[in-house]
Structure formats: structure tokens, C-alpha cells
Amino acid sequence: MRPNLTRRTLLGTGAAALGAGTLGLTARPASAQTAVSLQLSWLHSSQFAGSYIALDRGWWSEAGLDVSLLSGGPNAPVEPPVVSGAALVGISAADYTAAAVEQGAPFKILAVAMQKNPFVIASLPANPVNEPADLVGKRIGMALANTPVLQALCTLNGVDINEIEIIPTQYSAQPLLADEVDCLLCWETDLPVAMAMQGVESLTMLMADHGYAVHSQTYIATEDSLANRRAELVALMSGEVRGWDAYREDTDAAAALTLEMYPDAGLDLETQRLQAARQVPLMFSDLTDANGFGWWTDETVAANIETLALLGQTVTSDLWDRSILEEVHGA
């Protein structure tokens, strides 16, 4: 199915066996590997390159896990495969997870990859949006479904949303470039990157810098898995932590690896490099420097609960469960 992966896995195992042989150890037979799946939230790209590194370097197979990275897509919600057990862990976001929990899904957030929410307001230098107050009188292009997000930002910053003209657009930078809108609600790592690659310089105002605190790219698992498959969760997450730490050290290499592993994904190296670099500030902070990748504190959770309340979602700190991460970083 994935010739590249198979080849890599084989090579990796071969190398590991060689190494083990010289050390006089026996290699773990392939059959002893536990198969688990990690459901990604979007198509393969350097957005998930930390996981690719963990896979590529055999960190999971060393720990006895045979990890499949399941691609996401525009019509591939993350929650169902995690609930049904098809995936052990899924990559979601605090707001989506909260919505699923409200609908009865027994999810916990195990770790937070994006400490800062990637939502930005993107604009062009000639007509910039540098802070929320600049939105007044502007035409913003966004999916109507994201109105609560803009509303939350406005509430947090004392801006009257009625002063902003919302223009429903599809998720594309084109309306901004065609001057149909003055700014876009989008992710730091996709549409601005696409514009940059087309030679268009844009400004981004990170909503997280203006009080919009919603953990993104969160790792979720079911309560049942937390109770009964702890060892696998710990092994999976420690691979992730190692992978993302390695990613941070060399994002260009991570982007190159992404292309190497997924040659059919239609990725462009320059775009992937830029995207990989741009998501570093979202994922790593003083907090993670002090405590390790994926960490959160009661304070960041409290901020999340506050923002989620503005989005109409009532959650408690029970939604987060740090026990796996503590085991990973404690070990």
C-alpha cells in the first residue's frame, strides 16, 4: 500500500537488526509489534512532519509499535475513527473535541501540539490589519461557519462585530488578491504561505496574540484507551515528542522528509519548508521549553475554557488529561 514506507520500515528494521547484532542483542521480531493508528487531521504535509520523523527513524518500532499515519482530508472527520477504535489517537483541536464530548464522545486531550491557535487575520501591507481594532470597517472573507470565532475575537478585544463586513468565501486566498475582501480569516500556515509562494507578501495577525486561546492540533484518545492501553499511548506519545523535538532542530530536513515519504501528495519543497518554519512559533514556547513538547498548565487550560465559553462551549478542565504526557516526560 505504501511502498515507500514499507521499504523504509524494512531498511530501518534491517539497520536496527544489524546494530542489535553487533551489540549481541536479538532484534524484536516484526510480529511482536502492536499495530496502532494515528488519525491525522488533514492531508499529509509538513504540518505532521514530527510524526514522519518518528516513523522514519524507527522510534516507534523500537518501542514495539507499528504505527500507521492515517491521512485526513476535507471529508474525513477525525473523531469517528478514534471513537470506533480504528485509530488509537487522533489529532483534533480543543473546540472540535469539546463539541464531540458534548455529543457524548468520551475523549480526553493528551497533549497539545499547537500551543497557540493558528487562526490569523491575513491582510495585504497596503491595507493592513495589525490588531483587532483595525478590523472595523473592513471586509473580511471567511466561511460563515467561522462566525463564532470572529465573534469571540471581537468580544475579547471590545470590537463591535457589526462594524465588520463578513463576506462568505471559500477557503482560498484568491478573494483577497482580487480585492473582493480586505482580509481573510485563515491559518497562519496555509493561505499566507500560498500567497508567499505566489510572490505576494501578506501580513498576519495571530488571533492567539489577542486573547483567542484555543489549543490546536491536540492529541485525543478515548477514556477507554486511557484506562486500558496506557503503554501504547505512552509509546506513541513519546515517539511524537521525540519526533517534534527533532523537527524543531531542522525544519528544512523535516520538509524534505515529508516530500520523500509522500511523493504523491503533490507537495512543493519550498512551500513545505516555509510552512514547517512558520508553525514552529505556534508549537514551541517558554512553556514547552521548560516542560517539554505538548505541555499545558492550569492557566492555559483556564484561558481555553474562557475562550471556548465565548464560542458557546461549556467545558471543564476534565477535558484535559496530562497523565500520559507526564509519564512520557518523566521517563
Partner 1 sequence: MTNAAAGTGRPLATGRRGAGGYGPMLGVLVLLAGWELAGQLLTEAFVLAAPSEVALYLVRDWQLMSRALGVTLGNAAAGFVIGNVAAVALAGVALLWPRSERVITGLALLVFCLPLVATGPILRVFFGPGPGPQIALAALAVYYTTLIPLLVGLRAAPDSWFDLVRSYGRGPMSALVHVRAMAALPYLFTGLQIAAPAAFLGAMVGEFTGAERGMGVLTVRAIRALDVEMTWGLATVATAVAILAYVGIGALARRVLLEAPPVILAAPAVATGRRLGGWIDTGLVILLALGGWAGAIWAFGLNPFFAKGPGDVLDALVFAPDAAATRATIGAALAESAVYLIPGYIAGLLAGAALAILLILVPAVASTAMPLAIALRSVPIVTTAPLIVLLLGRGAVGTIFLVAVMVFFPSFVACLQGLRQAPGQVMAVFDSYAAGPLARLVRVRIPAMLPAFFAAARMAVPASVLALTVAEWLATGSGIGSLMALSASLSDYDMLWSSVVLVSALSALGYVLVGAVERRVLAIYAPEQLA
Nearer to partner 1 by Cβ, of 134 and 188: the residue is 188
Binding site for partner 1 (CB under 8 A): 1-2, 37, 43-44, 68, 70-77, 79-81, 83-84, 86, 96, 99-100, 102-105, 143-145, 167-175, 177-178, 190-191, 194-195, 197-198, 262-268, 271
| H/E segment holding residue 184 | strand 183-187
Nearer to partner 1 by Cβ, of 26 and 198: the residue is 198
Residue 178 CB-half CA count within 13 A: 7
Cell output for 256: 524534505
Nearer to partner 1 by Cβ, of 80 and 292: the residue is 80
Q: Confirm if 156 and 310 have CB atoms less than 8 A apart.
A: yes
Nearer to partner 1 by Cβ, of 187 and 295: the residue is 187
Q: Confirm if 109 and 94 have CB atoms less than 8 A apart.
A: yes
Closest approach of partner 1 to the CB of residue 174, in Å: 5
Nearer to partner 1 by Cβ, of 132 and 175: the residue is 175
Pairing assessment for the beta strands 183-187 and 65-70 based on DSSP bridges: unpaired
Closest approach of partner 1 to the CB of residue 26, in Å: 31
Fill in the amino acid letter for 156: L
Length of the chain: 331
Q: Confirm if 58 and 242 have CB atoms less than 8 A apart.
A: no
What dihedral do alpha carbons 305, 309, 312, 318 form, nearest 10°?
Answer: 30
Closest approach of partner 1 to the CB of residue 167, in Å: 7
Nearer to partner 1 by Cβ, of 46 and 238: the residue is 46
Cell output for 215: 489549543
Closest approach of partner 1 to the CB of residue 83, in Å: 5
Closest approach of partner 1 to the CB of residue 168, in Å: 5
Q: How many beta carbons lie within 10 A of that of residue 23, not counting itself?
A: 7
Nearer to partner 1 by Cβ, of 24 and 104: the residue is 104
In angstroms and rounded to an integer, the radius of gyration of the C-alpha atoms of the chain is 21
Closest approach of partner 1 to the CB of residue 227, in Å: 17
Closest approach of partner 1 to the CB of residue 8, in Å: 15
**Residues in contact with 268: Cβ distance below 8 Å, sequence separation at least 6, in sequence order:** 197
